[in-house]
Amino acid sequence: ENAILLLLLLLLLLLLLLLLLLLLLLLIIIIIIIIIIIIITIIIIIINILLLVLLLLLLLLLLLLIIIIIIIIIIKEDEKGGGGGGGGGGGGGGGGEEEEEEEEEEEEEEEEEEEEEEER
């Protein structure tokens, strides 16, 4: 009877050891899963930061592009408004004064038209 009791006790101890090993294995698996989740979270945070930096760079690029476009528009407007192309040479001979007066009248009309367009 003692031998049977000892065998049962040994069996019980073995079962307890097995249960402990299973619990330890489960604990290790849970710890590994938690570590994997933490690593994935860190990777996601890094990706989000990189995307945010990329978005900020794109916004700066867009702002720079808008500034360049505005500067180009201002330069084009200055070219349109400035000078008028330099006139057209004297007219040669006796009729030179009449042509100059006509050119001045045309320039005045063009300036008035430009002012009207700017007001609109």
With respect to residue 17, please indicate whether it lies within any of the assigned structural domains. yes
- Pair of tokens at residue 48: 């989000």
The 10s digit of each residue's pLDDT in 51-109 is 999 999 999 999 999 999 999 999 888 887 655 555 555 555 555 555 556 666 777 77
Number of domains in the chain: 1
With respect to residue 7, please indicate whether it lies within any of the assigned structural domains. yes
What pLDDT is recorded for position 83?
52
Domain assignment of residue 67, given as a range? 1-71
Q: How far, in Å, CA of 30 to CA of 24, rounded?
A: 10
Let me know if 9 is exposed, middle or buried by CB neighbors in 10 A (0-12, 13-18, 19+).
exposed
DSSP state string for 30-70? HHHHHHHHHHHHHHHHHHHHHHHHHHHHHHHHHHHHHHHHH
Give the pLDDT band (50/70/90) at residue 112: confident
- Cα angle 89, 93, 94 (rounded to 5 degrees) comes to 115
With respect to residue 104, please indicate whether it lies within any of the assigned structural domains. no
Determine contact, residues 66/51, Cβ cutoff 8 Å.
no
The 10s digit of each residue's pLDDT in 72-82 is 999 888 887 65
With respect to residue 120, please indicate whether it lies within any of the assigned structural domains. no
